[in-house]
Amino acid sequence: NGGAGRVARYSEGKSVGSSTKLDIDHSYTNDADEFSAIYKSQAMIDRQGLRSSQGTYTLKEGGRSTIVTIAVRRLTGSDLETAQKSAIDELGNLPKSLLPVQFARKSLSLKLPESYSSASLPIRGKKVAYYDRDLNQYFEATYLGEYSRTEVQIQLTGSNERLTVRSSAISKIEN
């Protein structure tokens, strides 16, 4: 009743120095339902990573077509500064309910705080610092108690997220 196909073509970018050009086509068609979804993109990759990517997504359903075009490029210098300023300005216009939960967390500025271990844990209800490795940032949390031999539960201040983390991921907050 239809077929699906995926093709990826790779080619060296000769006219762009040390960059590599990547062409990708993804498609799915179902003739019985008069349905097809096709994504075609072209990306330029250099030693610093993705330089630019342009793609077109075409959805055909029952004789109607919808086309979405996507363009992404790496920003540097004044272009990057302008984009960052614009993003920060626009962020203030968003309702709080649309912001990522991490924005509600109370961040801390700590330098080499003393970590807890499973042998020396704080008392329940004590404020601790939680280090989020993904965000490379310390956040204030409340220690809720031991979860297992090596894990503890905390609740982050501001966002009220409850997390189960390694005991070494929480640190003392100096008063």
The domains located in the chain, with CATH, are 3-73 (2.20.25), 103-171 (2.30.30.140)
- Contact yes or no for 156/144 (Cβ under 8 A): no
37, 80, 84 from 32: Cα distances, Å: 14, 47, 47
Residue 155 pLDDT class (50, 70, 90 cuts): very high
pLDDT tens per residue across span 1-38: 455 555 555 555 545 567 888 888 888 888 777 888 88
147: tokens are 């979860």
- Quick check: helix, strand or coil at residue 86? helix
Q: Could you give the CA distance from residue 112 to residue 135 in angstroms, rounded to a whole number?
A: 16
Q: Which residues contact 47 (CB under 8 A, 6 or more apart)?
A: 18
Q: Which of 14-18, 20-24, 48-52, 122-126 has the highest mean pLDDT?
A: 122-126
Q: Could you give the CA distance from residue 27 to residue 164 in angstroms, rounded to a whole number?
A: 41
Q: Which of 5-14, 132-141, 148-157 bottoms out in mean pLDDT, i.e. has the lowest?
A: 5-14
